[in-house]
Structure 1
Amino acid sequence: MRAAVFVFKRFCGSSFRLQNRGVCDVAVVGGGIVGLSSARELIIRHPNLSFTLLEKENELALHQSGHNSGVIHSGIYYTPGSLKAQLCVKGASLAYKYCDDKGIPYKRCGKLIVAVEREEISRLKALYERGLQNNVKDLSLIDARGIREREPYCRGIMALDSPYTGIVDWCLVALTYAKDFQNAGGSIVTGFEASDISMATESPAGEPEGLKYPVIIRNTKGEEVRCRYVLTCGGLYSDRLSAISGCSTEPRIVPFRGDYLVLKPEKSYLIKGNIYPVPDPRFPFLGVHFTPRIDGSVWLGPNAVLAFKREGYNLFDFNAKDFTDALLFRGLQKLVLKNLLYGISEMYRGVFLGAQVKILQKYIPELGRSDIMRGPSGVRAQALDSGGNLVDDFVFDGGVGELGGRVLHVRNAPSPAATSSLAIAEMIADELEVRFNL
């Protein structure tokens, strides 16, 4: 194998010089926030083992971790007792502490989930009860007057107030995880797109102990890394990474693009904290909302439409394999049929901004079409089963055959994975210790 030295610079201002040594005890595939937090947790627990993190891009945290709304969620929405609920509540607490310890700026600006119609009140109260069951901190129900006190330009008849909700730059958090990992002795290799995971059939030259590193990870350039165990955190490609080690093709990842609008700077006074609608259980996503950013900007949206490429952030981004895989998947076909009108309205609002503004005006009547401009987009890795159901919790999978005891795939780490990242990392490390007897 060729030795390689990789240099990369991230837009957040961090730069690393990274060297791939070729062999390690544990390889982590995927340099997003879940892969980085897990690698960090593992090397802290097992300082005597060697770890290498492999990322296909030339930068870390480039996709979902660098294209999200930046919210620190409090854990209101999720089914009581689910992993999603437990990890979000715990993860938010750990995230605030981590940011304090590392000097990462954040703002605990709070969130209002606002009812604008009488029919939404019962759902709002049910959310409040769910949040209490999930042990979310400091929740309360407030009336129209309380809404105006918190958000002077917001109109509603009742709201769920979550002052524990905050905002942060999750890309910066992810890169800080990377620094922790590297400072603890971990190696990071960028530009390494894993294309095959297999068991070695013979010992490499100069390795007298036999097959000490029996797992081979090869990339699209023909380079390889040998290791004892593998953890994959592939995000938008998690299903394909699982498939190359012989796992089931389901759940399948279907990419949904979310397009944001941005409030013009001179109108930023309209929004103080996060403002969300009461979610409608008939539809699969939360709906458009107002999100202040740590840099002072305010994002509005997003919509949710099928992306024609797994990393397609623009309307006309297209990849034939990604598009065909999604379109032919029975699960997506069923999801589309169940939510046809919703999907059409999402596409319409993505094209005609006036339609998006009309919905936003239900909450901020003073908002006008001239107050907004098109903003960034993100792509969500939505896991679907063949029945067309959104897979709403975490999914882990192992390889088959000899690989079964050597590989662990994180096949689904749904939102709020960034908020939950430190708690997810603890859970993954626990799982690896059991499976691999580290």
Structure 2
Amino acid sequence: MAVWVAGAALLLSACGATSGTPGPSVQQGTASPVVGTAPDPAVLGVEMSPERLAFTPPHLEGRELVRVGVLLPFSGSASALRSEAGHLLRGAELALFERGVENIVLLPKDTEGTARGAEAAAEAVIADGADLIIGPLLAAEVRAVSAPARRANVPVISFSTDTSVAGGGVYLLSFPPEEEVRRVVSYTASLGASRFAIAAPATPYGQLVSEAYRRAAAEAGGTVTAEEVYSGGVDSMSQAARRLARAGIGRLEVGRALAMTGENWQPAEGGAFQVVMLPAGGDDLRMLAPSMLFADIDPLLVKFVGTGLWRNPDSAREPALANGWFAGPDAAMRARFEASYQSAFGEQPSRLAGLGYDAASLAALMAANTGAIDRTVLEDPNGFLGVDGLFRLRGDGTVERGLALYTIRNGQFEVLDPAPERFGPAGADIEPGES
């Protein structure tokens, strides 16, 4: 079944470049929730005959349409996958409802959460005349979709965080940890840090963050001088912390320590490392951070930093993480989307639902302005202002996000350095505090 939804306004907007000139002009969304009839609940896509080309709903016959396939694991084996698929589709529906574009059609297809299912869904939606594919969610699905999409010259905006599947017309609209790592390393380096350490879990995520950390440190003119991996619980974490400490850490004089609060941190001249990355979340983080203290790694001297996994209420209440730093999307921007989603569907959106909204908003932008999918618009270096703040899609298919830097103070998350309001030249870093 094709989903076609019309409505009022759009949040997504193009942002100015370094010169301050705006990108493609689109209507800015209102600050209050959308008022009006909500779109129909999300439904599963009904597979259509491969022989039927350029599917057109009866009430849109005779119009030049932009058809957007939405490939998601509606019947995936895991309930979390099925739930996420529904949130992503509802986010896409909401974007079209708010934008009110009348020449765009969503074509939902079920990937079943498998590579084979994703490939079949891609072939089916391409046969239905899709001009753009939104999804899939999993890296294996994206790989399977890539080949038929490239043969048909249909761009793909996927939600995977695996950068190895990007490129050749496949774009990642997600929250890759590499961007979070780069933001926090860039900020600490701007304060003079050049020696970095990391204690990472022995998982694919830990390996990914470690690799990104080494690259980011090198780009910032520094180096990772100590790197430890742990597996298992607190004993393994404690051993990793002790090994880091043996690399050599400075000591604070009592008088200087008494004058410091953790908020006025500056990189120390001595010691093997000045910053330590703790890429964990939840209970793991609440065990890992105290392990650093027990190994005499002093957070007054060594800045504790992390990834978006830190953004958890329990993390904010962990004393060992007080004054620690991590990067994440602009929370204030997301509040408007959550209010609109709640108003339309009567429930809170998932963390990823905004990606469905932003992807459909990009499609609506092109359908309204050019009447067709245009990769030059997708790769606009000025970027776009979406649900979670500033982002732009690079030519290699990866996403760059304008992230805020957060600190933990008094059991709360506070913005230490705000998210940028514009991007610098493509490939250039955004200076801390620049907006």
Alignment TM-score, normalising by the size of structure 1: 0.26
Alignment TM-score, normalising by the size of structure 2: 0.26
Which structure has the higher relative contact order (CA within 8 Å, separation 6+)?
1
